[in-house]
Amino acid sequence: MGKMAAVVGSVATLATEPGEDAFRKLFRFYRQSRPGTADLGGVIDFSAAHTARGTGPNAHKVVRSQLSVSSVSEHDAHRAGLQPVSKWQAYGLEGYPGFIFIPNPFLPGYQWHWVKQCLKLYSQKPNVCNLDKHMTREETQDLWEQSKEFLRYKEVNKRRPRSLLEKLRWVTLGYHYNWDNKKYSADHYTPFPSDLAFLSEQVAAACGFQGFRAEAGILNYYRLDSTLGIHVDKSELDHSKPLLSFSFGQSAIFLLGGLKRDEAPTAMFMHSGDIMVMSGFSRLLNHAVPRVLPNPEGESLPHCLDTPLPAVLPRDSVIEPCSVEDWQVCASYLKTARVNMTVRQVLATDQDFPLEPMEKKKGDITTEGFCHLDDQNSPLKRARIDADS
């Protein structure tokens, strides 16, 4: 109770801003929090190995979640780089039906593939990214090739300008989300990556959602000073299907609130390899990321990323080899960064996009009104932290 009292006391001493709701106040509290102090005492840590209920004063909210072990074969789990579902730990939270948290179910070394895909492959054209607003297609054609030497020697030259990969904030896949009108459309689509679709299908099936189709993805690239504003993911036309979230790199604090912002959110850590599933009642809840946490050991990787990807992979695996040179670039990037993949099914089976008047259509996806990721040093600092996406 001592830790919780300290946290409540710290929040209480934070002056409320005019018109500030309960969610925003806790968002601001954790954004300003000091790692290693009582500030983080109220954050649930699902990965705590010594207890099946996690740690933190809110651990009493943690309940076990049942998975559909028979829905995913051990072979298919291995093909996606996952442990057998029977070995996964899965948790929920009282008061949040449909929310499932799975602490790192990846096989040792297999996170390497997904990190490399986010940085090297998924960032390539024809996928859409935040840099498209200010640069030509030719300039953003291959961010990896333009950035890898900068990142490989980052430790040697710390005063160098940031590489393009370090300026990357988001990438969209499949049906590309339009940040202007907050909609998806049939005429702005590129093929969804087959490996990520397969991974998503296995995780969804294990959580009871057989037949899930990965149709859209938003990848967020966080620096240590980045945040994810308070929002609800409601643009998909079918809310009966889950939202899947995969985290890699440095840890972060995730806030899960209610249907309205006057409900105080629950805080939890997201570590590298962790998966979250928001479905049912929890599918349309407010949520945010107020803080990415620097590694307490300095600029280093989480220990779960120390193990290399095995040299020999299953013949039909969707996982591809990762060279030492490629991982050097990925590791250099992740020492001060976090990557998150969210995957959604946009349309119900046999559903089509509604027809819209031609004058309402916009040809380009831009970042006007963009609020998803915010850097503390950005010219748009905190300008749109509340806007729904």
In a domain, 388, yes or no: no
Nearest residue to 197 (alpha-carbon basis) of 246, 238, 158: 246
DSSP 8-state symbol, 290: E
CB 265 within 8 A of CB 282: no
User: CA–CA separation, 31 vs 28, rounded Å?
Assistant: 5
- In the predicted model, residues of the chain with pLDDT beneath 70 are 1-19, 49-60, 155-159, 357-389
In a domain, 270, yes or no: yes
3-class SS of residue 294 = coil
Residues 6+ apart with CB under 8 A from 207: 67, 68, 90, 100, 242, 277, 279
3-class SS of residue 20 = coil
CB 148 within 8 A of CB 324: no
Dihedral over Cα of 155, 159, 165, 170: its sign: positive
User: CA–CA separation, 263 vs 213, rounded Å?
Assistant: 32
User: CA–CA separation, 90 vs 100, rounded Å?
Assistant: 7
Please state the domain count of the chain: 1
Q: What's the maximum distance between 2 C-alpha atoms anywhere in the chain?
A: 60
In a domain, 44, yes or no: yes
In a domain, 202, yes or no: yes
3-class SS of residue 273 = coil
Annotated binding-site residue? 233: yes
Q: Is the pTM of this model over 0.85?
A: yes
Domain span holding position 54: 22-344
In a domain, 354, yes or no: no
In a domain, 368, yes or no: no
Give the CATH number, domain containing residue 303: 2.60.120.590
In the chain, helix, strand, coil percent, each to 5? 25, 20, 55
Q: Would you call 151 exposed, middle or buried from its count of C-beta atoms within 10 A (0-12, 13-18, 19+)?
A: buried
Task: Please report the pLDDT score of residue 12 as a whole number.
Answer: 53
Task: Please report the pLDDT score of residue 36 as a whole number.
Answer: 76
Annotated binding-site residue? 75: no
In a domain, 289, yes or no: yes
Place of tokens 């730990």: 89
Place of tokens 């709701």: 21
DSSP 8-state symbol, 191: P
β-bridge partners, 105: none
Annotated binding-site residue? 231: yes
Task: Please report the pLDDT score of residue 296 as a whole number.
Answer: 87
In a domain, 5, yes or no: no
